[in-house]
Amino acid sequence: MKTRTIAAAIAFLFLSVDFQASAGTGKGFRDRLTVGGYGEAVMSYNMYSDNFGIYSSPATYRDSKGHGRFDLPHAVLMLGYDFGKGWNLGMEIEFEHGGIEAAVERENGEAGEFEKEIERGGEVALEQFWIEKSFFPQLNVRAGHIVVPVGLTNSRHLPTEYFTVYRPEGENTIIPCTWHETGISVWGLAGDWRYEVMMVAGLNSTLFSTEGWVHDGSASPYEFKPASQVAGAFRVDNRSVDGLRLGLSGYIGNSFHNDITTNTSEQYAGVNGTVMIGAFDFEYNDHNFILRGNFDYGHLTDIDYINRRNSTQNHTTSSPYANSLVGRAAMAAGIEAGYDFFSLSDRLREKEQKFYVFARYEYYDSYIPASGTTPNDWTDKHRFAAGVNYYPLPEIGIKAEYSHRFLKSPYNPEPSVSLGIVWAAYFIN
C-alpha cells in the first residue's frame, strides 16, 4: 500500500469520527484533533575508516581516510484525537533514515558480513497507536502500541530534548530507542509525581548481538510480534524541586522461546533468558542552564544457552537472526550540560532565541562477558562531544558538534563532526 493511500485513509478515519462525534456535542474537528511531529536532517564526516575490518584488524586502518554521510534519522507525524468522556486516541507514524525500515547493513563485528535488515514488517512503522481512557489525573489506562519509557532517551526522545546531533549514543546502543511495544499501561499524576506501569510483549533473544546487546530484541521481521513471553516495565518521575526532574525506570522479562517457533529441544528446557534493566536519569532546566544525566545497567541470564542457540540459527542471507554472541550485561552512563548565552541579551531573550554551548561525556559497553568468556574490547567505549545548539524559534534548532570516541588499545579512536537541523512542533493542539 502506498504511503499516500495510508495517509488518505487516516484522514478519512478522523473526518468520519468527527462527523459522528460532533453531531451530538457541537464540538468541532479542530477542537478534538492534535497534529504534530518532529524530524532531523543530518550531515556527518567520520574521520576514521568505514571498512568492516576496523575492529578485527585495527592496525591496517590506522591512517585511513574518513567518510561522509547524509542522513534523515527520524521523520515522524503525530496524531491525536479526543473522542470525549475521557477517551483519547494517539499515534505516531515514523520514517527512519528516510526509508521504510528495510535496509542492507554490514556487520563490523561479524567479519563484514552483509545482512538484509527488516526491522519491522510492513511499509510504514507505527511507533505509537493506542486508545486511552482517563478516569482522573491519578488513573489513566492506555492500550495498544506504546512507548516503553525505560531510560532517559525513551522518555525524552524528541530532537529538541537532547543536545547532540544524534540521540545519546550509549542508551541508543544497548536498548531499543525509541522502544515501542504492544501492550497495556496504567499511568497517573499525583502532585509532583508521575508513575507508569505496563505489561508488553517480551524481547526476542535470537536478535540480541555483541554490538547492540538487546537493542534489536524488540523488532520483528514478521507481520506480527511473537509474544510467547510477556514483560513488565515501570517509570516514576518526581518534580519536587523547581527545575529538577528525577526519574527511575526498569524492565524485566524472559526473552528465550519468544521467536516465530518455539524450540522444544530438551537441552533448552527451563531456559528463560531473563532481561533485567534498571535506569536512573535526571534533568535540571533553570537559570538558562540545562544539565542532564543517565545511568543504565542491564543483565541477561542463561547467556551460554542463548549463545549456543544463536550460533545454530539459520545463516542464510535472508535470515533475520543476528548469529552473534551476546554478553551477560551491558551498561551506559552519560552526562551533558549546556548554557544559553543568548539569555545574556535582553533583545534576543525577548525574541525567544536560544544559543546553547554544550558538552557531553558518556561511557558504554554493549558486551560485558561472563567469567571465562573472551571479551570484545572494541565494545568498551568512552565518548566526548562538544558543540552548539541554536534555536531561532522554540520549535526549530540547528545543531553542530565535534565528537570523539575513545576505544581500548589496539583499536583506533573515532572522531567525527556533525551538523543537523531539527524540529518538533504541534500544528494543531
Write a three-state SS string for 84-122. Answer: ECCEEEEEEEEEECCCCCEEEEEEHHHCCEEEEEECECC
Residue range 412-419: average pLDDT?
Answer: 97
* pLDDT beyond 70 at 96: yes
CA–CA dist 74, 165 (Å, integer): 12
* pLDDT beyond 50 at 376: yes
Whether the Cβ atoms of residue 76 and residue 95 lie closer than 8 Å to each other:
yes
CA–CA dist 214, 233 (Å, integer): 15
Show the domain range for 56: 35-327+420-428
Q: How many helices (H) and strands (E) does the chain have?
A: 6, 19
Buried residues in 212-229 as b, exposed as e (16+ CB within 10 A): bbbbbbbbbbeeebbbeb
Whether the Cβ atoms of residue 255 and residue 274 lie closer than 8 Å to each other:
yes
* pLDDT beyond 70 at 344: yes
CA atoms within 13 A on the CB side of 151: 31
C-alpha cell read off for 239: 518534580
Q: What per-residue confidence (pLDDT) applies to 219? A: 86
Q: What per-residue confidence (pLDDT) applies to 24? A: 46
Is 374 part of any domain?
A: no
Residue range 344-370: average pLDDT?
Answer: 94
Is 197 part of any domain?
A: yes
Residue range 6-22: average pLDDT?
Answer: 50
Residue range 15-34: average pLDDT?
Answer: 61
Write the pLDDT tens digit of every residue in 49-87: 999 899 989 999 998 999 999 999 999 999 999 999 999
Write the pLDDT tens digit of every residue in 105-129: 666 666 666 666 666 544 568 889 9
Residue with the bigger pLDDT between 265 and 213: it is: 213
Whether the Cβ atoms of residue 418 and residue 44 lie closer than 8 Å to each other:
yes
Is 297 part of any domain?
A: yes
Q: What are the φ and ψ backbone dihedral angles of 395, each rounded to 5 degrees?
A: -90, -10
* pLDDT beyond 50 at 21: no
* Tally of domains in the chain: 1
Buried residues in 146-166 as b, exposed as e (16+ CB within 10 A): bbbbbbbbbbbbbbbbbbbbb
C-alpha cell read off for 381: 567505549
Write the pLDDT tens digit of every residue in 222-253: 888 888 999 999 999 999 999 999 999 999 99
CA–CA dist 18, 49 (Å, integer): 54
- pLDDT band for 2, please (50, 70, 90 cuts): very low
CA–CA dist 176, 363 (Å, integer): 17
Whether the Cβ atoms of residue 280 and residue 152 lie closer than 8 Å to each other:
no
Is 96 part of any domain?
A: yes
**Residue 183's CATH number:** 2.40.160
Is 397 part of any domain?
A: no
Q: What per-residue confidence (pLDDT) applies to 101? A: 63
Residue range 353-365: average pLDDT?
Answer: 98
Name the least confident of 91-100, 106-115, 393-402. 106-115
- What is the sign of the dihedral through the CA atoms of 120, 104, 172 and 323? positive
* pLDDT beyond 80 at 7: no
CA–CA dist 147, 92 (Å, integer): 10
Q: Tally Cβ neighbours within 10 Å of residue 358.
A: 20
Is 402 part of any domain?
A: no
Q: What per-residue confidence (pLDDT) applies to 1? A: 44
Residue with the bigger pLDDT between 113 and 134: it is: 134
Write the pLDDT tens digit of every residue in 184-222: 999 999 999 999 999 999 999 999 999 999 999 998 878
Whether the Cβ atoms of residue 217 and residue 207 lie closer than 8 Å to each other:
yes
- pLDDT band for 299, please (50, 70, 90 cuts): very high
Share of the chain above pLDDT 90, in %: 69
- What is the sign of the dihedral through the CA atoms of 338, 195, 78 and 26? negative
Secondary structure letter of residue 168 according to DSSP: P
Is 323 part of any domain?
A: yes
C-alpha cell read off for 414: 573515532
* pLDDT beyond 90 at 426: yes
Q: What per-residue confidence (pLDDT) applies to 317? A: 59
Is 5 part of any domain?
A: no
CA–CA dist 36, 79 (Å, integer): 6
Q: What per-residue confidence (pLDDT) applies to 170? A: 96
- pLDDT band for 277, please (50, 70, 90 cuts): very high
Paired strand residues for 291:
284, 337
Q: What per-residue confidence (pLDDT) applies to 122? A: 42
The full DSSP string for 359-419 is EEEEEEEEEEPPTTSPP-GGGEEEEEEEEEEEEEETTEEEEEEEEEEEE-TTSPPEEEEEE
Q: What per-residue confidence (pLDDT) applies to 303? A: 93
- pLDDT band for 267, please (50, 70, 90 cuts): confident
Name the least confident of 135-144, 266-275, 358-367. 266-275
Average pLDDT value over all residues in the chain: 88
